[in-house]
Structures are given as C-alpha cells and as structure tokens.
C-alpha cells in the first residue's frame, strides 16, 4: 500500500517536472541573446543565463571597463585613499598620544623589563 502511494507521488513529481520545468530548461539553454557591445548573437553560459556580453575577449574587456567606470561613479571617494589615509593617520596619532598619556605606567614597566633582560 505504502509502496503504491510512494510510486504515485514520484509519478506526480515526474509529471510536474516534465510539464513545467523541462521545457523551461530547454528554453533557457537555447535562448540566443544579442551582445550589447558587438551586436552579434550568442548563447549565454548555462550557469550565467543573464549574461549580456558575448565571450569575445574584446567584448569582455570593454564590459570590464564599463563596469569599472560604473563602479567608480558609484564610489567616487574610493581612490582618494591618500587623503583618507592622512585623515586616518591623524586620528590614529591623536589616539596613540592619548593612549600614551593614560598608560604611562605601562611604558615604565616595559623599560624595567627590558633593562632586567639586559642585565
């Protein structure tokens, strides 16, 4: 009895897969797209169905450049790291100064330990 039910369940699953999923899989594999850059037809990689540029290295290079430009437009401050670094260093210097002032005993101990090691 249980076996029959199981087989029916499997049958239904297979039918569902056959009716709904298989044709869509076929369509996805066979869909041809037009490259955004060279305007030629290509079949996208089945693992990257949303690919918009063909595999021609020239097109890929152009796509990278476009992506980089977009990214730079979205993150305009990213390549100003020199200014950022100096700001960060300023903050860090202030922080270290404060830390040294509040932890004077630590340096005393350190010096004592060093001199103890030497002798």
Site of interaction with Zn ion (CB under 5 A): 35, 37-38, 54, 56, 59
Minimum distance of Zn ion from residue 75's CB (angstroms):
27
Q: Which of 51, 56 has the CB closer to Zn ion?
A: 56
Q: Round to whole Å and give the CA distance between 23 and 19.
A: 7
Minimum distance of Zn ion from residue 23's CB (angstroms):
28
Contact between 111 and 119 under an 8 Å Cβ cutoff? The reply is no
Q: Which of 43, 98 has the CB closer to Zn ion?
A: 43
Q: Which of 37, 51 has the CB closer to Zn ion?
A: 37
CA 14 to chain centre: 36
Contact between 51 and 37 under an 8 Å Cβ cutoff? The reply is no
DSSP-derived secondary structure for 108-119: HHHHHHHHHHH-
Strands annotated E in the chain: 33-34, 41-42
Q: Which of 67, 86 has the CB closer to Zn ion?
A: 67
Minimum distance of Zn ion from residue 99's CB (angstroms):
57
CA 56 to chain centre: 23
Minimum distance of Zn ion from residue 57's CB (angstroms):
10
């Amino acid at each position: 009895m249980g076996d029959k039910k199981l087989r029916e369940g499997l049958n239904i699953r297979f039918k569902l897969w056959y009716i709904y999923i298989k044709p869509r899989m076929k369509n996805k594999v066979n869909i041809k797209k037009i490259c955004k850059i060279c305007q030629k037809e290509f079949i996208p990689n089945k693992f990257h169905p949303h690919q918009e540029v063909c595999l021609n290295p020239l097109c890929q290079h152009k796509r990278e450049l476009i992506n980089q430009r977009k990214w730079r437009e979205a993150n305009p401050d990213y390549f100003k790291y020199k200014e950022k670094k100096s700001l960060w260093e300023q903050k860090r210097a202030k922080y270290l100064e404060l830390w040294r002032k509040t932890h004077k005993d630590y340096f005393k101990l350190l010096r004592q330990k060093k001199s103890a090691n030497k002798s």
